Amino acid sequence: MSNLPEPPCPFCEMNTGRAPATFVHEWSDTIAIVPLNPVVDGHTLVIPKTHVPDFAADPDVFAATARRAAELMRWTARPMNLITSRGVEATQSVFHLHLHLVPRAEGDGLALPWYSGRSRTTRKPHPPAAAPV
């Protein structure tokens, strides 16, 4: 175990104005920003102001953040992916809950993060989910 201090959370830094961000919208509990490297035009991150590491850490914060994402998108019929991740193996790179709103277009060539190119017949079965608490 390291005694080195943890680096500051980039999303907390953006939310408090200590790091630059291009804000799309701000609510009392959530921010929507343009990511540093958007994958397509219109790619937006919806981030709670409360620091929680992922969607399972605090179901209430996740639900409120998902509601804000829906509010932001309710006035458009544009095709969209809503993506969030939990854990390095699931492609999470910033350990502060965030939802990606990714606009889609036919033939855009954008592969979803979980596409492996393998057929379904070569995948290993998933272990049973843990019992709800």
pLDDT tens over the chain, length 133 residues: 556 667 789 999 999 999 999 999 999 999 999 999 999 999 999 999 999 999 999 999 999 999 999 999 998 899 999 999 999 988 899 999 999 999 999 888 888 755 556 554 544 444 555 555 5
pLDDT score recorded for residue 117: 61
| Angle ∠(100,102,105) on CA atoms, nearest 5 | 170
Q: pTM score, two decimals? A: 0.81
pLDDT score recorded for residue 5: 63
pLDDT, tens digit (0-9, with 9 covering 90-100), for 99-116:
999 999 988 888 875 555
pLDDT score recorded for residue 32: 98
Structure tokens given for 117 = 């190119």
pLDDT score recorded for residue 122: 47
Spell out the domain ranges in the chain: 10-122
Q: Which CATH code for domain 10-122?
A: 3.30.428.10
Q: How many Å is the Cα radius of gyration of the chain?
A: 17
Which is it for strands 44-48 and 30-34: parallel, antiparallel or unpaired?
antiparallel
Distance CA 69, CA 46 (A): 6
Q: Measured between alpha carbons, how far is residue 6 from residues 34, 47, 68 in Å?
A: 25, 20, 29
Place of tokens 């509010």: 71
